[in-house]
Amino acid sequence: MATDVDPMDDAKSDLSGETLCNPEHPQSFLDDHSDKTQLRRFKSTRSEVIFVVSVSVSTSLCGYTLMGFPALLPTLVDAFRLEGASSTWLAIVVPLALATSLLPFRRLVERIGPLPVFQCGLSWTLIWTLFAGVSSNHVMLIACRAMQGLGVAAHFFSGATLLSDLYSPGLRKDRVFLLHELMEILGSFLGILVAGLSSQYLSWRWFFWVAAMFALQALVGSSLTAPESLKTCSKSPKVPMDLLGCVTTASALILTACWVVEFPHAPQGWRTPYLLATEVLSMASLGFAIYVEGWVAEKPILPLTILETRRVGPLLVGLFFGYGAMGLYVLYTVF
């Protein structure tokens, strides 16, 4: 039985992944929710599997680095004979780097696209993870951990953006993001396992060397199999970077963390001069950051309008106490 064929179907079947992010094209792959169109963005099914797994492995590095390190901390305290706030800085420097740089990297993704940020972030993480594994003192290790946190912040958000740009809503996208989120959880358990094994049977340095292996796999695998369409995706160079907002918010978080960490070890408590100066500067930075994001920045990295939604405030409070309780539990159970 003969059927009429729509010429648009033939035209669409000849499209390549390069039209994925082209808003001027009348029929892009984002308009087609079928699973078959997802394969046309990759050279083969094997390339797609390698790319998705590589991006998911990069996500697992976040859980590995954050949740696994507290299990390694007692070994480092003994190895470096840490006293005072040094052990606390080792534990919080990566979360602090994530908190201060995640939003700036999100804006950078909007400006230059997710693929360059993802690859640079993985490369940065790989380099500083290797340096952390050969650290000779706790100061070097803290610095390497801070740099490692910047790399994790870069590839964590950009990796999710890569998958979001590649897949249109549908069953295939649901499965890909299920794997993506599952790998973060598995990375947390793997980090705790590797930290325990390294402390008991090997050297604490293996915790970082194993992380470097995962970073290398994610970098090589994603670089070799990334579709050409990703090179032109999600670029908005005219979007302002909001440098003033980045500096003020980062300063407020860092100074507040300094005050909280150093307070228990200050010789005169809250009356210690440097602690008083840190507290005043942190409050001033926070107030200035709110003013910049609310009334100065053309396109703020953290718009205050999100608080206008009625349920956002309680959600943020719940997340704050939820993640805080989990972090305290993991930190204090290993001592």
pLDDT on residue 57: 92
Say if residue 279 is in the same domain as residue 131: no
> In Å, how far from its chain's centre is CA 288?
26
| pLDDT tens figures, 156-194 | 889 989 998 888 888 888 889 988 889 988 998 999 999
Say if residue 62 is in the same domain as residue 210: yes
Taking CA 39 as the corner, what is the angle to CA 234 and CA 112, rounded to the nearest 5 degrees? 15
Q: Quick check: is 265 in a domain?
A: yes
CATH number (domain holding residue 170): 1.20.1250.20
| pLDDT tens figures, 190-212 | 999 999 999 888 899 999 999 99
pLDDT on residue 289: 92
Among 6-15, 66-75, 98-107, 253-262, which is the least confidently predicted range?
Answer: 6-15
Say if residue 196 is in the same domain as residue 79: yes
pLDDT on residue 327: 67
241: part of which helix (H) or strand (E)? Answer: none
Which residues touch 128 (CB under 8 Å, ≥6 apart)? 144, 147, 148, 151
Which residue among 189, 205, 232 closes a domain? 232
Structural domain for 309, as ranges:
240-321
Q: Quick check: is 23 in a domain?
A: no
Q: Quick check: is 38 in a domain?
A: no
Say if residue 228 is in the same domain as residue 263: no
Helical axes 45-80 vs 86-112, angle rounded to 10°:
150
C-alpha 19/C-alpha 26 separation (Å) is: 10
Give, as one character, the DSSP assignment of residue 162.
Answer: H
With a cut of 50, say whether residue 3 has pLDDT above it: no
Please tell me which residue, 258 or 329, carries the higher pLDDT value.
258
Q: Provide the number of structural domains found in the chain.
A: 2
Say if residue 157 is in the same domain as residue 215: yes
Helical axes 45-80 vs 138-166, angle rounded to 10°:
160
C-alpha 159/C-alpha 116 separation (Å) is: 11
C-alpha 254/C-alpha 261 separation (Å) is: 10
Say if residue 223 is in the same domain as residue 250: no
Q: Specify the long-range contacts of residues 306-313, CB closer than 8 Å, at least 24 apart.
A: none
pLDDT on residue 71: 87
pLDDT on residue 210: 94
Q: Quick check: is 212 in a domain?
A: yes
Which residue among 202, 232, 262 closes a domain? 232
pLDDT on residue 248: 92
Residue 330's pLDDT band (cuts 50, 70, 90): low
C-alpha 55/C-alpha 155 separation (Å) is: 9
Q: Which residue type does 183 have? A: M
pLDDT on residue 147: 93
Say if residue 305 is in the same domain as residue 205: no
| pLDDT tens figures, 8-53 | 444 333 333 333 444 443 333 333 444 444 545 777 888 888 999 9
With a cut of 90, say whether residue 124 has pLDDT above it: yes
Residue 148's pLDDT band (cuts 50, 70, 90): very high
Say if residue 137 is in the same domain as residue 279: no
Q: With a threshold of 0.85, does the pTM exceed it?
A: no
User: Which ranges in the chain belong to alpha helices (H)?
Assistant: 7-13, 36-39, 45-80, 86-112, 114-133, 138-166, 171-201, 205-225, 243-262, 273-291, 312-333
Sign of CA dihedral 86, 82, 60, 317: negative
With a cut of 90, say whether residue 221 has pLDDT above it: yes
Q: Quick check: is 123 in a domain?
A: yes
Say if residue 73 is in the same domain as residue 168: yes
Mean pLDDT of 96-111: 89
Q: Quick check: is 329 in a domain?
A: no
Residue 332's pLDDT band (cuts 50, 70, 90): low
| Residues counted in the chain | 335
> In Å, how far from its chain's centre is CA 249?
17
C-alpha 230/C-alpha 232 separation (Å) is: 5
Say if residue 58 is in the same domain as residue 144: yes
Q: What percent of the chain has pLDDT over 70?
A: 84
pLDDT on residue 30: 37
Mean pLDDT of 306-311: 80
| pLDDT tens figures, 239-294 | 888 899 899 999 998 998 888 888 777 777 777 888 888 888 999 999 999 999 88
C-alpha 225/C-alpha 281 separation (Å) is: 47
Say if residue 280 is in the same domain as residue 187: no
pLDDT on residue 9: 42
Mean pLDDT, the chain, rounded, equals 81
Q: Quick check: is 1 in a domain?
A: no
Which residue among 232, 262, 284 closes a domain? 232
Say if residue 247 is in the same domain as residue 212: no
Q: Quick check: is 224 in a domain?
A: yes
